[in-house]
Amino acid sequence: MLMSYEELWRSERLRLDAQPEVVRRTAAMASVDAQGDSVTRPPSPRWSWRSGWLDPSVLRPDGGYLDDVDELLDTLRETPPVDAEAPVVVAGDPERRHREERAERGIPLPGSLLRKLEAVCERARAPFLLDASRSADGGTRTS
């Protein structure tokens, strides 16, 4: 069932009526400085933000909205790139790739940090369990 714009606006699932309260609370929080003291000037307009939430079933009650989004994203990714060395990506693709790489190979740490961690372990007489030979910058393990 399709909804008119007005029905959609008033829909419980659209929840736009709650946003002024969120903005009011955010402005109140932004008027407190780092020490928790009130700030006499109004918060900067650069601190403003707005977000909205929408139940996808409002747009497509048959549940096809997410399928349409997947198809759109696939189409974007399949677009021929201007630069053959840089494929087309959509928001979240680089982050997903990095998460997969980190899950497989771990988080790269600079050799200088590994040496400091190893020194802390030595002082604490705790085993150093990281593989310093795989540091991000080729740093070597101290002896």
pTM of the complete model: 0.45
Question: Does 40 lie in the same domain as 3?
Answer: yes
pLDDT (tens place) for every residue of the chain, 143 residues total? 555 555 655 555 544 444 454 444 444 444 444 455 555 555 555 666 666 777 888 778 888 888 898 999 999 999 999 998 988 999 999 999 999 999 988 888 888 899 999 999 999 999 998 876 666 665 544 43
Question: Does 94 lie in the same domain as 49?
Answer: no
Whether the CB-CB separation of 130 and 109 falls below 8 Å is answered with yes
Question: Does 123 lie in the same domain as 82?
Answer: no
Question: Does 97 lie in the same domain as 119?
Answer: no
User: Which tens digits make up the pLDDT trace of 49-73?
Assistant: 666 777 888 778 888 888 898 999 9
Question: Does 34 lie in the same domain as 14?
Answer: yes
Question: Does 41 lie in the same domain as 17?
Answer: yes
Count of domains observed in the chain: 3
d(CA 61, CA 49): 29
Whether the CB-CB separation of 141 and 114 falls below 8 Å is answered with yes
Question: Does 72 lie in the same domain as 38?
Answer: no
For residue 123, give its domain range: 108-143
Question: Does 112 lie in the same domain as 102?
Answer: no
pLDDT at 108: 85
Question: Does 124 lie in the same domain as 85?
Answer: no
Burial of 62 (0-12, 13-18, 19+ CB in 10 A): exposed
Residue 133 token pair? 């030979």
Question: Does 13 lie in the same domain as 49?
Answer: yes
d(CA 140, CA 112): 9
The per-residue DSSP string of the chain comes to ----HHHHHH-TTT-GGGHHHHHHHHHHHHTB-TTSPBPSSPPPGGG--------HHHH-TTS-HHHHHHHHHHHHHTSPPSSTTS----TTHHHHHHHHHHHHH-----HHHHHHHHHHHHHHT----S-GGG-TT------
pLDDT at 136: 66
